[in-house]
Amino acid sequence: MLANELLHLLNSSYGADFPEVDVQAVILTDPVAHYRQAAGPNWTSDQLSQPDPFPNLPRSPIKSSAQHHRSNGRVPVGWDDLGESEENAPLMPLQLPPGLEQVLPLSKAASYFGDAIRAVNCRNDKDSQYGSCGSLLFGGLAMVDSHLTGTSGSKFTPPVSNITHFEVTHGDGLAGDDGVLTAPQFFKMPVLRNGVQDIPGLACSGDLNCGPEKSAI
């Protein structure tokens, strides 16, 4: 073993007396010694190709912040200037959209979607169930993030005593840019066709006070 050869060299060169490394003892406690290659076949890129789940949504290449600076002189945040605060403006009833439905484009620059995966080596069955042990692999979380493109739709009910019920959906889904799931050490994996979709049969919903007093959800 290289470690023991180095120890012999140190001992002979400097008159030291470092004991040899007990390789078998290290194997019993070192998680790396138990690494195994993932089981299953080696898939080719052709076998992994899938239809785009969001074929109708536009996609654009990711620009770095430096590119944004060069092209626009500033990094866009996706929102127009809202102007000065109007705290003293007269209170007016909230106007619901015509037909009580409205679909708006998502601000891609101001949107965010991401994931963080904590890969651990739990050697206890109880810890393995939830990955709650402290043996973190790859030096930290494996993370990926992306901006999103798509639309957000809102549907309202006719107000009763100034209260309207609303639901928010996301049409055919929100499409994200391709990215790379990356950990601090030894792990990178392409993440393609990112997307966010509504759960079938469920929608974000609530009640909105659209009367002349301050609106509240």
Tens digit of pLDDT for each residue in 142-174?
999 989 999 999 999 999 988 999 999 988 889
Tens digit of pLDDT for each residue in 83-136?
666 666 667 778 899 999 999 998 888 888 889 999 998 888 888 888 888 888
pLDDT at 185 over 70: yes
pLDDT at 73 over 60: no
Per-residue pLDDT, averaged over 70-93, amounts to: 58
**3-state SS class at 95:** coil
Please give the Cα distance from 137 to 134 (Å, whole number).
Answer: 9
129: alpha, beta or left? (left if phi > 0; alpha if psi -120 to 50): alpha
Please name the residues in contact with 174: beta carbons below 8 A apart, sequence gap of 6 or more.
Answer: 54, 57, 106, 111, 113, 148, 149, 150, 195, 196, 197
**3-state SS class at 155:** strand
Quick one: pLDDT at residue 85?
63
Tokens 């990094």 -> residue: 75
pLDDT at 55 over 80: no
Name the pTM for this structure.
0.51
Burial class (CB in 10 A: 0-12, 13-18, 19+), 126: exposed
Quick one: pLDDT at residue 103?
92
